Amino acid sequence: MRDLVIRELHDLPDVEDANALFGKIWGSAPMGVEHMRALSHAGNYVAGAFHNGQLVGASVAFFAAPAGSALHSHVTGALPGHRAGFALKLHQREWALDRGLQRITWTYDPLVRRNAHFNLTKLGGRPVEYLASFYGAMDDAINGGDDTDRALVAWQLSHPDAVAAAASGPAPVPVPADAATVLSVRGGLPAVSHSDAPTLLVEVPVDIEALRNSDPGAARAWRLAMREVLGGLLADGARVTGFHNRSCYVVTRDTAT
């Protein structure tokens, strides 16, 4: 990341470049130039990561409720090989702290392993809500027509996990010996089980994006299973405390629930 330069984007050519980068990553731009330009001009967060003068990542966020305490990060995209996504999130965190904000929220697909690992393990964020079909149908290169279920992450900027992530990375989340797996991968398909254990493991498929192309039926089964299990647990008041071994959510709950 030492070779990266992170800076806010205010000029129209820079915003146009960010929009083109998003289009390259997703196959279509999730935001328009006009929206990004307006958000930047109004004092929100629009920033880019540059390597040798080339834009390799960008992020857009806007102030959120409760007013004066939160930022919502709507989109962050980066080309592989530069760690630009991580650098942008750290820059975004410092930007928010400088303005007296306490947390940043964003959404991500809970079926994508690398995103879960990035958000929970590398940054120290925590999913706090499951949002079924949040954006409706999206037939871009990433979503492939699948339901756009999303987990809402809350990144408490002064929490020890976030502070550790900004320094060197948070410690692994311990998994008790009596933890029970309630969603697992069996022959590529989801297998749902039930347990009264206080700590539960919710496994994520190895590569949901490839599965959408090779077996849409299996991908759909995973979507419904994750919605039932993780969505149900969060709705019942359980807490996601980490992402174990790059493969499964660690969920804790009050055994009385």
pLDDT in tens, 11-35: 999 999 999 999 999 888 888 999 9
Same-domain pairing of 24 and 101: yes
- Domain annotation covers residue 257: no
Same-domain pairing of 123 and 18: yes
Same-domain pairing of 121 and 221: no
Same-domain pairing of 115 and 241: no
For residue 127, the cross-strand partners are 153
Q: How far is CA 235 from the centre of its chain?
A: 19
* Regions of the chain where pLDDT drops below 50: 141, 257
Same-domain pairing of 44 and 142: yes
Which helix (H) or strand (E) segment holds residue 58: the answer is strand 54-64
Q: Which of 167, 199, 231 is the last residue of a domain?
A: 167
Same-domain pairing of 68 and 146: yes
What is the pLDDT, as a whole number, of residue 255? 65
What is the pLDDT, as a whole number, of residue 142? 54
What is the pLDDT, as a whole number, of residue 257? 44
Residues 127-149: tens digit of each pLDDT = 999 999 999 875 654 555 678 99
Q: Identify the domain containing residue 190 by its residue range.
A: 180-252
Overall domain count for the chain:
2
Same-domain pairing of 188 and 139: no
Which helix (H) or strand (E) segment holds residue 242: the answer is strand 239-244
Same-domain pairing of 27 and 123: yes
